Structure 1
Amino acid sequence: MTPTLPDNLRLLLVDDEENILRSLKRLLRREPYELVTAESGEAALRILENERIDLVISDARMPGMDGPSLLSLIRRRWPWVIRILLTGYADMESTVKAINDGQIYRYISKPWEDEELKVIVRQALAFQYSERRRLALEKLSRKQNRQLRALNENLEQQVESRTAELKETADMLDRALSELRTSYVTTTEVFSSLLNQRLPRDLQTNGRVIAVARAFAQHLELDAELTRNLEMASALYNLGKLSWSDDMLRAPSDQLTKAQTKTYRQYPEAGEQLLMTLEPLQEAAHIIRHHQERWSGRGFPDELAGDAIPLGSRILRMAVDFIELQTGLIISRRVSRDDALKLVERQSGRLYDPALCGAFVALCEGTAPDLAPTEEGVIAVDTRQLKAGMILARDLHAASGMLLLNEGKQLTRPLIEKLIAFERGEPEGTRYILFIHDPEVPEEPLMEVGIQ
């Protein structure tokens, strides 16, 4: 569940254009934050030296100190401050610098979508608050360990009492760590939607690749860590394409020019380089680097062959090709799901691990098109069937691909009403389907919200 945030959060808005600052303040004035503004990087640093700030939103291009330089300095001096960059598509060099040096939480393209920006700010603050809770629990656990060692061995009753308290604390720490690991996966899925904003909806592949890879990992009964790294790699496998032109992003790979093909062959390595500075994503980055290798040894970037290719990369390659064949990103026509499976099967032993390929095709032939069948104990409902107290069994994404709600989120009546209102703003005919843990909750009628 998303934690309840404190009511004294302070946001610093940095931009040399007064009208942009006014727009941000007007957008956020009804949010439960205290807003502070600065018109330069130097002014922002002076504020940070004298005041407590929880989150900074900075423009990329400013006279003097630019946004990426400011956020990089903030990361070194105030690492607990969440950093968000406002930029345009043309500012890709600044964006890459901010990702590498400033380790920003997110970048937002101008002009921004108001609701999306507010959601991003809330998610960033929730992530920061969860991290602070985890650190506090770790500190508490260390303190109680020291106290336990200091107890007299003869005070048996006290030892038993303190041991029970320590177990409770350890359980809380385990839950916090589990939340943190889930939040890393969720953050990568949110970040993957950045590239999707540059593509028409029918070419947005990340979500479908995640579903395919996750289903196959569960079928193979892979361990939790490898599955988690594979999911993050699936969300970010095409991160190395961020610098491509829109035309090249939409072009099938077999229609690229010689120069474009050279750029294309560099995207797995570029994606790895963007992620390697982030410790929790290093294994996912390694999977991304090798997901275009071939079983025969004629892939790229390192021409690895056979079992030398990481297992996660072999799985990701099949999932990516299966989805991109259907969306027309590999050959100059879209192929049906069945034909895509036949093409994958035909390349067994050449592009793909033959043992994995057979299992992959068998799984896809036996499951629904989205490769996400409803597991036991999970029901699919639309927004009009939701009840307070229900718990999400899967992440919920908007039509644009933006993450709306995390897996494990418990629904409240106000949250359901907001979700219904958000759904009304989507393209006509859009209806959200949510996967819910089959609950045994009392019937609680929702307030009337005017659904037609």
Structure 2
Amino acid sequence: MTNNTVLFVDDEPNILASFRRSLGRKFSIDLAQGPEEALEKIQKNDPYAVVVSDLKMPKMNGIDLLTRVKSISPDTVRVILTGHANLDSAISAVNEGSVFRFLTKPCDTDILVKTVNASIKQYRLVTAEKELLRGTLRGSVKLLTDILALVTPEAFGRTERIKQIVLGTATEAKLDNPWRYELAAMLSMIGYISVDPEILDKKFNNEELTPEEEQMLTMHSAVATGLLANIPRMQEVIDAIASQDDRFDENPDQPVGGRLLRLAGDFESLERSGLDKDEAMDHMRSDEDRYDPMLLRALERMIFAEEGLVPMSLTFKELRVGMLLTANVTTEDGVLLMAKGQELNEVGLLRLQNFARNNSIKEPIEVRVSLDRVKQSGKAQPPS
């Protein structure tokens, strides 16, 4: 489906058929009989350039539908076409659905054609501006990171590792426009160009720093935001970098980009200090209030999916042979039954079953499950 496709939504099949007859040769169009089918298509297909919706429909009116469309596909241009027009509905359409045009039935074909053409033009303008902005920002970012690579190669190398963690976590968390967080990650260390290389060497080698050296390092975010302030439309990236050292529990308004940078930066530092993935995650969980819990879980899923494993929280009845315990299994009173790191076998499950009869096992139980098993049914199942 091309980016010029127009989706027409109406609960009357004959009206949809008339759209195909009158407009099918002029535009790439798609039809949806009612809002439910429209939402299904919008979520399944590439973004539509335009959605033209009837106002009065069963279960969901056109204003509510276009409000949903705005959330799912914000660049899609939205048009209302209705035979039940009044001032209140027009105001609601503009305020809630952010419609581009409000047309009344019966609508002359020439007017409809002009409206669709104008809507497609608007869509192209919006998307072209975003692509231009993305290209401009990427060019500016590359210049700055090239400078960072020349001045302090170690900081540049750390930036590359953090970028991969941020991108993977953002993708796993299904965050919109992950390229924005990629830019923030690429620039997160740019402030280190103002720090003495000897101090950076001590930091990256996990050597003890003096209070004065610590103070110099804490200034790197402020230096970065000062450098970036001269690049247009970088405020979201600047806000992320400025807050990258904040704790989530102390700054619940910390922007998502800042939360990702804090998470990725800490994980990278722990791995660089010699900890393996399990040990690094354990360390982060020991003070998990500093992180956004949703992003912390997304990070865990991402890093262990690389090994074909998925973290899950299960009840005793869902446990199966072959699962790996990622936390101690205890009774409600704190008595240790099985230690973290053990792979479940028949004997271990039988032992747990004896305690489960008395409802004394503390749930949920944290495990990692084979990714293949999860894919087969969406839920952990016993092996064949």
Query: TM-score category by the smaller chain?
Result: 0.3 to 0.5
Larger radius of gyration: 2
What is the TM-score with the length of structure 1 in the denominator? 0.39
What is the TM-score with the length of structure 2 in the denominator? 0.45
